[in-house]
Copies of this chain bind each other. A is one copy, B any other.
């Protein structure tokens, strides 16, 4: 054998890289199809998702999460607001801020998409084994740039558990 057991050979690593490409494509395919029926795209999905999971988010927070420009965000956000999926409310403390919330309709769509994706994820994890969820979180977290990890960790943990 070229590589000792438990250690990744170069070909194993390339396989992981390629598998990630196909996995990500198939993972986003389901939501994409639903979004299309609403006239939305993946960009709308991201905005809706993070607002749903983090109610009261400010525009600046969203820019920080998505790492796109204000102008790119403005386009999709405006559409989501115009179509009544997201609601803006002037901040209580600072009235320059626009706090973002999903509407009932927006919440329904966000839930629909998240259900689709968590089912996909759950099914994949079930295929792998009992400790898969813990493992996947550690793996995916380690794939994130070190400089982003603290930020992402806070975002993912804090996310709205208002059952």
Contacts and interface: CB of A to CB of B under 8 A. Distances in A.
A118 interface: yes
Contacts of A14: 53, 114, 118, 159
A27 B20 contact: yes
B137 A16 contact: yes
B26 A140 contact: no
A139 B144 contact: no
A39 interface: no
A152 interface: yes
Contact of A133 (B7, B53, B122): B7
* Binding site secondary structure of chain A: helix
A23 B144 contact: yes
Contacts of A144: 19, 22-23, 26
Nearest to A120: B143
Interface stretch (A70-78, A82-90, A95-103, A123-131): A123-131
A145 B29 contact: yes
Given A26-B145, A143-B27, A159 B19 contact: no
Interface of A: 6-8, 10-27, 29, 46, 53, 67, 114, 117-118, 120-125, 127-145, 148, 152, 155-157, 159, 161
